Amino acid sequence: MRGPRLLVVGAGIHGLWVAWRFLCAGWCVTLAEAGCLPNRAGASWDQHRLIHPFGSTNEADVGALEAAMRGWESLWSRLGRNHYRQSGGVLGSHIATHFTVLSAAGWPCERITRDELSILAPGLRSHPDGGMLWTPNAGVLLADRIMGDLFRLTTELGCIFLPGRRIREDEVCEGRVQLGDGAWLEPDLIVVACGADSSQAVPALAPRIAVVEQTMLYFTAPRAWASAPILIDFGPQDDLWMAPPVAGTMLKLAASGLATAQGPVDLNALSRRIDETFCTTGWRFMRRGHCRFDRTVNGARIIEPVAGTNGKAWVIAGCNGSGFKFAPLVADLIWRMMPGYSEAMA
């Protein structure tokens, strides 16, 4: 018997994970992408994405991260290989607050000294004055490898792809999309997960989100940096973050405070932050990268039904540049919102 039909809009990490989650449950899934497929120009395609608990403000946030990590484990089990490297992580600001939250949630963490940090991350020129917080349970998701494997898995499960197809607001609201051969697709459910382009498919989101551009600089670095932890909130403005060069990747640096919706990132400001924080002897600049993402006004992610669709269309938006790590949890939340279908197909 033919299963219910899902249309996913956007082939980033959320779109692909939602597609995979529903395909595994027997749904017929079509995935529409405004760009090419696979879309290596999208924000999700990069060497690494960080996964760590330092954005948590309460125990529920920590629990959400733990649930997401279990989701990643399910992907590794399916793939037979692991695209996560546990490097550990160090936080350089707001130590007391995060230590309290993580300790209460039972997440392993401890305060460390400058000498201890120098062993973990050789070549730091300056250290946070207020101490550092270390956790072993943090690391790097190898994003482009994950994306490639998810695209392969969804293909093997029979996902229908519509490359170069931008879905319009009227199609989302009416719940029907015309295909290239003139036929109509009338899915049982639509999930809009197109990141920075979300407000084009769902214009009602426009007052709540802003499109922001983050610039990252990539370097080769001495071998010792390959075993360094991820670094969060370092530098003169407490906004530098670093992904170490694990598993053959490059070392990556960016400053969250320089992510802007007002035009090009100030590269001179970013370079000054890096030079004041790191001894870059032995580093070699390789390239510059850009990531466009949507940020909500209040910082909260948007996972909700699209107004006027009677719950037949949902939107995932406002991931604020840190949503990659939560993709398994988000897909599961969408799944559990469909009790009539999910119980029948589980």
> What is the pLDDT, as a whole number, of residue 2?
65
Task: Locate 324 and state its tokens.
Answer: 């990659």
> Which residues, in sequence order, are CB contacts of 51 under 8 Å at separation 6+?
65, 68, 69, 72, 84, 138, 139, 140, 141, 325
The pLDDT of 67-90, averaged and rounded, is: 97
Higher-pLDDT residue of 276, 337:
276
- The tens digit of pLDDT for each residue in 267-285 reads 899 999 999 999 998 999 9
- The tens digit of pLDDT for each residue in 219-268 reads 999 999 999 999 999 999 999 999 999 999 999 999 998 888 766 678 89
211-239: b or e for each residue (b if 16 or more CB lie within 10 Å)? ebbbbbbbbebeeebbebbbbbbbbebbb
Task: Locate 306 and state its tokens.
Answer: 């699209």
Task: Locate 236 and state its tokens.
Answer: 């003169």
HSE toward the beta carbon, residue 304, CA cutoff 13 A: 12
- The tens digit of pLDDT for each residue in 10-40 reads 999 999 999 999 999 999 999 999 999 988 8
Query: Parallel, antiparallel, or unpaired for β 160-163 and 28-33?
Result: parallel
- The tens digit of pLDDT for each residue in 83-140 reads 999 999 999 999 999 999 999 999 999 999 988 998 898 888 877 777 899 999 999 9
> What is the pLDDT, as a whole number, of residue 261?
77
> What is the pLDDT, as a whole number, of residue 339?
60
Q: Is the pLDDT of residue 343 over 70?
A: no
- The tens digit of pLDDT for each residue in 292-306 reads 888 888 878 899 999
| pLDDT, averaged across the chain | 91
- The tens digit of pLDDT for each residue in 38-48 reads 888 888 999 99
DSSP secondary structure letters along 114-139: HHHHHHHSTTBS---TT-EEEESS-E
The pLDDT of 312-328, averaged and rounded, is: 89
Q: Is the pLDDT of residue 340 over 70?
A: no
> What is the pLDDT, as a whole number, of residue 293?
87
> What is the pLDDT, as a whole number, of residue 344?
39
User: What 3-state class would DSSP assign to 105?
Assistant: coil
